[in-house]
Amino acid sequence: MDYKVSKIRLLQIFNEQGFDESLKQRSGYNPNNILIDSCTNGTITSVSFPGYKASKTGNGITYNYRIDI
């Protein structure tokens, strides 16, 4: 696993799916569940966000999410 590539991909997903809008709405924790990858053996990797520790801070966002395998 290349962590730099993973970080870039996660940030893309968060921007595309509106991580900051999900923070504003707070209609529950982890309301977004996005498929990241699937393996030939049937293993699925997904990300759920935002987590309960996610927040807006000054000029940025504190990301909190869960990776499910």
> Could you count the other beta carbons within 10 Å of the beta carbon of residue 50?
26
Query: Could you report the per-residue pLDDT of 23-67, keeping only the tens digit for each?
Result: 777 655 657 788 888 889 999 988 888 888 888 888 888 888 888
Taking a C-beta distance cutoff of 8 angstroms, is the pair 34, 25 a contact?
A: no
Q: What is the pLDDT of residue 61?
A: 84
Min mean pLDDT across 8-12, 17-21, 24-28, 60-64 is at 24-28
Q: What domain range includes position 29?
A: 3-68
Strand ordering across the sheet containing 66-68: 32-38, 44-49, 66-68
Q: What is the pLDDT of residue 24?
A: 76
Q: What is the pLDDT of residue 65?
A: 85
| Number of domains composing the chain | 1
